[in-house]
Amino acid sequence: MSLPARVTTLLIAFAAVVAFVVFVAAHFVLSSPPLENYTPYASGGQVNVVMQTDPQNTVTNKPDWVSYFIQNPQNKQWVHTTYFAVPAATKVNMTIYGYDGCSALRNPVWGQVTGTIGGVEYVDGKPTSDLNSWSGCNVQHTFTMAGLGINVPIASPTTLNENNNLCGTSPCTSGPHQVVTFSFMTPAKGGTFRWQCIVPCGGGYVDGNGGPMSTPGYMSGQMEVQA
């Protein structure tokens, strides 16, 4: 092989390796779920954020992974993401439609509501400060944001009949569910706050914390506080 041919081959091989690395970085390392920006929709020092939990995820290639969805504040469509943005120093009114069935918390201490205004959540309108997932079928996931000390167990449908007839297509619009509401204040300074479900609910993975638990966009995400 002539010298020019060898140099050309080497350059092509090098470019191919670089392109592969860039592709992997762009698609697997740097990619993140879409961000639902609620900041423009805040008024009077408050903003309303709406989510839902699903027992499956039929909109991706991981149909058996449990997942959160967030409602787009403009068109009210459900988006498969766990990333959202809210303004700083604002009261966030969360509404979570819990369509999944019950799972026990590994550590029942996470059944306690913390970090919310009044230290309570409202399950179908009824205030409660803790749920005992070890005594019955009543918790499906949690909304846990360690950076702000927030932990809210998401109540589940409680009856056998409900749990055996959960919504089967994502995003859920019908089927047994509980509506959980709570409020909390965002800090005065901006920042990014990680949140997760701490049930753990990645059934079939190491200690239940793999799969959807370890993949942003399913059972963990980020709240961006915009100052």
Residues that bind other proteins (CB under 8 A): 55-56, 64, 66, 100-104, 106-109, 111-112, 114, 129-130, 132, 134-135, 137, 140-141, 144, 146-147, 149, 156, 160, 163-164, 166, 194, 196, 198, 200-201, 203-211, 213-216, 220
Smaller CB distance to other proteins: residue 9 or 129?
129
Smaller CB distance to other proteins: residue 91 or 106?
106
Minimum distance from residue 181 beta carbon to other proteins (Å): 20
Smaller CB distance to other proteins: residue 73 or 115?
115
Smaller CB distance to other proteins: residue 61 or 77?
61
Minimum distance from residue 185 beta carbon to other proteins (Å): 18
Residue 225: enclosing H or E segment and its boundaries? strand 220-226
Smaller CB distance to other proteins: residue 64 or 124?
64
Distance CA 82, CA 51 (A): 9
Please provide the distance, in angstroms rounded to a whole number, between the alpha carbons at the two ends of the chain: 62
Would the CA dihedral through 136, 122, 71, 223 be positive or negative?
A: negative
Smaller CB distance to other proteins: residue 79 or 201?
201
Distance CA 87, CA 41 (A): 9
Q: Please identify which residue in the block is written with the tokens 């950076």.
A: 147
Cis peptide leading into 216, omega within 30 of 0?
A: no
Sheet bearing 126-128, strands edge to edge:
78-79, 67-71, 46-54, 91-98, 178-185, 121-123, 126-128
Distance CA 221, CA 219 (A): 7
Minimum distance from residue 18 beta carbon to other proteins (Å): 28
Minimum distance from residue 218 beta carbon to other proteins (Å): 11
Q: Are the C-beta atoms of residues 53 and 68 closer than 8 Å to each other?
A: yes
Minimum distance from residue 163 beta carbon to other proteins (Å): 4
Minimum distance from residue 69 beta carbon to other proteins (Å): 15
